[in-house]
Amino acid sequence: MTEYNLFVYGTLKAGCHNSHLLPKDAPRREGIMLGRMYSNVTYPFVTLKRDYVFEHGSRDLGEDQSWAERLAPEIAKGVDFVKEGLRVVFGEVVTLAQPERVIPALDRLEGYLQGRRYGMEDLYVRVLTGARIKGQGGVQPVWTYVANLHNPMVLKRCAPESALPEGYWPTDRE
């Protein structure tokens, strides 16, 4: 399997309380993706426009990565940072050499238990989108966890009054 790029923006970022769940030797680079961030006090939610969700994650990480590779040209053309302006989320892109050792635990942490057929009880959904990665040109495919707006509790937490318009989750918020 090729390397798996995971965009993290909250408690999985370096220095945050869940960062230990990612391999210490995994490269981390600054990145931004289009989206809107919301605060749930102890952790953030991010929402994306449907146009920027290219695939949903499954339990078959090899298949997921095949989708990322096949859709890379479409993602590079289809994610328009200029058109969207300042609706960005700041985070880190963590490159996982062995995602099969990490992603199942992260799926459990993020409450993403259903695979492609996510249900109302899931808090987050793992999706393929595009991000700009510091030091690389253009838009690159990345996997990330976004709010499951089919869950009524999550939908309530993503109300306008809980929006973080700056798109940044500080490490000292923990």
The pLDDT tens digits of the residues spanning 83-115 come to 766 589 999 999 999 999 999 999 999 989 765
Which of 33-42, 89-98, 129-138: highest mean pLDDT? 89-98
Lateral strand order in the sheet of 44-47 = 44-47, 36-39, 163-164
Mean pLDDT of all residues in 50-71 = 92
- Within-domain flag for 121: yes
What is the number of domains present in the chain?
Answer: 1
Q: Is residue 174 part of a domain?
A: no
Distances (CA, A) of 101 to 22, 23, 97, 136: 10, 9, 9, 26
Q: pLDDT tens, 17-34?
A: 999 999 999 999 999 999
Q: How distant, in Å, are the alpha carbons of 127, 145, 171 from that of 48?
A: 10, 10, 22
Please indicate, yes or no, if residue 101 is contained in any of the structural domains.
yes
The answer to the question of residue 114 being in a domain is yes
**CATH number of the domain residue 136 falls in:** 3.10.490.10
So what's the pLDDT on residue 170? 85
Q: Is residue 64 part of a domain?
A: yes
Q: How many whole angstroms from its chain centre is CA 68?
A: 14
Q: Assess if residue 167 is contained within a domain.
A: no
Residues 6 or more apart whose CB falls under 8 angstroms from that of 22 comprise 6, 8, 12, 94, 96, 102
Residue 48, both tokens: 């994306």
Q: What are phi and psi of 61, to 5 degrees?
A: -65, -30
Token duo for residue 2: 């090729």
Domain coverage including residue 130: 4-162
Cα torsion through 33, 129, 10, 102, rounded to 10? -140
